[in-house]
Amino acid sequence: MEEAQILIIEDDLVFAEMVQFQLSTSGISLENIISIDSIEDAKEIRTYQEPDVILLDLNITDSSGISTYDSISKLFPLASIIVLSGMDDESIALEIVSKGGQDYVLKGDLNAQILNKTIKYGLLRRQLSIKVQKSERKFKDVFNKSPLPIIQLVGEDMVIELVNSAAEQLYNVKREDLIGKNIQAFNIGTDSEREITSDGGRFTQHRGDGAKIIVDIEISQIESDSKQPEFIALLIDRTKEIEFEKRKFDIISQAEESEKKKIARELHDGLGQQMVLLNLLFQNFQPIDEQKDNYKDLGNLLQSCIREVKEIAYNLLPPELEKGFINAMERFSHRINSMGEIQFSLEIDESIMESDLETIDNFNLYRIIQELFNNALKHSNATIFTFKMKKEPSGKISIDVSDNGDGFDIEKVNHGLGLANLNYRMNMTGIKGDFNSSQGEGTKVSLNFD
């Protein structure tokens, strides 16, 4: 047997000497065996030695029962503790093993062979225990020193159990105040109603100082020692990145709208006026009989071109928006219904005022509705396009846009350019859209605002 430091804690000196003798016959030097009979003596031993194996009698001079094990295991947390049990305390010995004791041996059955085997197993378990503890320390070291915010979650409710320093800094909340909280408790806005599951995702949350942050949460399930599932969550702060994207989007949008205004004015004041003049000149012609059919066709074509130029100019620069979003939608629906191509059903709660929409990006919201309508008109074969805007008791505004067209497979179309542009515009303006569609069932889009 390898050289091991053995500590015997036994108040029966005769029995203790017998154990020492049996150990020596197993190849353990007497110099490596210490025998004591009290907790006080164990405290003194602790100042200069860490035994590998402890042979422990539960009833000694200054302690008895389970409290003896508790005291010794606290003094020597790395030692392999083997309980020396009498027939009268065998049940207690079994309870101690369930609490973490390595093994127990009945005193009446003790012999050199059993003792030798028990100690060998005890040493092996101690080595494994030390390796596990080293592994745990390495994990905790990596966990705590990671520059990325990491938390450990427990249970289906995703309750925070461990937090590293980076996560403390992210939330600006002390570790002890984070532990025990449900991670979903940090969600705000429309995300306050979203459940955080093992799939993770992007969530708008709040810090301890009230500041808003946008966090990508990546969650992986790990092996659990308990009946509850355990997870490791990596938190990626996207706030500055998204703020930069929004600023870039605002600059690009302003440049695009400025160019659209320029083109709209050129179409209206330039090409549009020239076509109106051309139409007036055309009306002065007096075709001969053989030319009347062609004259009528050319007149209709000219009128169609004038209308299309006006429509393009109007879409590029909707003047109604200057008087508010609700006014613009009313004019938009009236104009579409007057054309007769598709019915535009407009439903707006009477309680909603223009002032309720002051915090919403009206211009980009109007562009989103335009894009949804154009998609329905061009691709869905819809006959009815419905716009519903309602106000909840809390004051929150929500919009549902739907059509009765062909619908489409969300999974197949999700990566298309049109839908990607819509999603990008919504993300950059704080508008959240939930798309629902299937073949033959039409399309519905629910818009919510942070």
Note the pLDDT tens digit of each residue in 147-183. Answer: 899 999 999 889 999 999 999 999 999 999 999 999 9
* Averaged confidence pLDDT in the chain: 83
Mean pLDDT of 415-430: 71
Evaluate whether residue 283 is within a structural domain. yes
Residues 74 and 112 in one domain: yes
Tokens of 355: 């002032």
The band of 187, judged by pLDDT with boundaries at 50, 70 and 90, is very high
Q: Do the bridges between strand 80-85 and strand 53-57 make them parallel or antiparallel, or are there none, so unpaired?
A: parallel
- Domain of residue 76 covers 6-143
Question: By the 8 A CB rule, do 298 and 281 touch?
Answer: no
Look at residue 137 in the predicted model and tell me its pLDDT. Answer: 75
* pTM of the predicted structure, to 2 decimals: 0.50
Which tens digits make up the pLDDT trace of 276-319? 778 787 888 888 888 888 888 888 888 888 878 877 776 676 76
Question: By the 8 A CB rule, do 122 and 34 touch?
Answer: no
Residues 382 and 338 in one domain: yes
Number of domains, the chain? 4
Q: Which H or E run contains 384?
A: strand 384-391
Please provide residue 266's backbone torsions phi and psi, each rounded to the nearest 5 degrees: -65, -40
Residues 323 and 306 in one domain: no
Picking from 143, 173, 208, the residue at the C-terminal end of a domain is: 143
Tokens of 406: 């062909």
- Beta strand extents in 23-176 (DSSP E only): 33-36, 53-57, 80-85, 103-106, 150-154, 159-163
The CATH code of the domain that includes 419 is 3.30.565.10
Q: Do the bridges between strand 201-206 and strand 212-222 make them parallel or antiparallel, or are there none, so unpaired?
A: antiparallel
The amino acid that residue 71 corresponds to is S
Evaluate whether residue 1 is within a structural domain. no
Which tens digits make up the pLDDT trace of 223-272? 877 788 999 999 999 999 888 887 887 787 777 777 777 777 777 677 87
Look at residue 102 in the predicted model and tell me its pLDDT. Answer: 62
Residue 416 has pLDDT above 60, yes or no: no
* CA dist 410 → 20, 398, 407, 413 (Å): 77, 22, 9, 5
Residues 290 and 343 in one domain: no
Residue 417 has pLDDT above 70, yes or no: no
Residues 336 and 259 in one domain: no
Please provide residue 254's backbone torsions phi and psi, each rounded to the nearest 5 degrees: -60, -40
Separation of alpha carbons 57 and 42, rounded Å: 13
The CATH code of the domain that includes 154 is 3.30.450.20
Percent of the chain with pLDDT over 70: 91
Q: How many CA atoms are closer than 13 Å to the CA of 307, on its beta-carbon side?
A: 9
Residues 190 and 276 in one domain: no
Residues 176 and 161 in one domain: yes
Residues 332 and 447 in one domain: yes
Separation of alpha carbons 152 and 144, rounded Å: 11
Evaluate whether residue 137 is within a structural domain. yes
Residues 132 and 11 in one domain: yes
- Between 272 and 32, where is the model more confident? 32
Angle at 13 between CA 10 and CA 18, to 5 degrees: 90
Residue 344 has pLDDT above 60, yes or no: yes
Picking from 316, 348, 382, the residue at the C-terminal end of a domain is: 316
Residues 19 and 136 in one domain: yes
Look at residue 418 in the predicted model and tell me its pLDDT. Answer: 62
Picking from 204, 237, 270, the residue at the C-terminal end of a domain is: 237
Residues 117 and 192 in one domain: no
The CATH code of the domain that includes 48 is 3.40.50.2300
Residues 254 and 232 in one domain: no
Q: In the 8-state DSSP scheme, what is residue 429?
A: T
